[in-house]
Amino acid sequence: MRVSHLDHFVLTVADIEATCRFYEAVLGLERVQFGENRPGLMVGALRINLHQAGHELWPHAAKPLPGSADLCIICNAAMDELVAHLDRCRVGIELGPVARTGVQGAMMSVYIRDPDNNLIELSVYPS
């Protein structure tokens, strides 16, 4: 058996609406409803499912907590455009731009926090 790719992952969040507003406005992700009116966010061909803290759907992680995620999202923009966009959105950069190594090699990254304080690495591969 070989794994093909990730289909979705779950973020446990304190406020689904605040999370959706942030990811839509700042990162341009598409909010979707699936299954029995469940909320999610699309990142390319990957979906982020959202669970409300204290009301997680079963089965779920052993210790689902808002703010425990650390993830990297690849952006299709020049780093200076990305930094300017974050500034316009009034989203503080915690670290960066800094050189990092992703799956495809060298990239530049900035680190921000979402409404739950999850660490979000926004990265750009050289064109």
Q: Would you list the domain boundaries of the chain? A: 8-124
User: What residues have CB less than 8 Å from 9, skipping those under 6 apart?
Assistant: 46, 48, 49
86, pLDDT greater than 90: yes
36, pLDDT greater than 90: no
Residues 99-122 pLDDT 10s: 999 999 999 999 999 999 999 999
For residue 97, whether the previous peptide bond is cis, meaning omega lies within 30 degrees of 0, is yes
Q: Give the pair of three-digit tokens for residue 21.
A: 């507003």
Q: Summarize the confidence of residues 12-31 as an average pLDDT.
A: 97
Average pLDDT over the chain reads 95
14, pLDDT greater than 90: yes
Q: Could you tell me if 51 and 66 are in contact, meaning their C-beta atoms sit under 8 angstroms apart?
A: no
- Respond yes or no: is residue 36 known to be catalytic: no
Residue 69 is classified by DSSP as -
Task: Tell me which fold the domain 8-124 belongs to.
Answer: 2,3-Dihydroxybiphenyl 1,2-Dioxygenase; domain 1 (3.10.180)
**pTM for the structure as a whole:** 0.93
Annotated active-site residue in 24, 36, 81, 121? 121
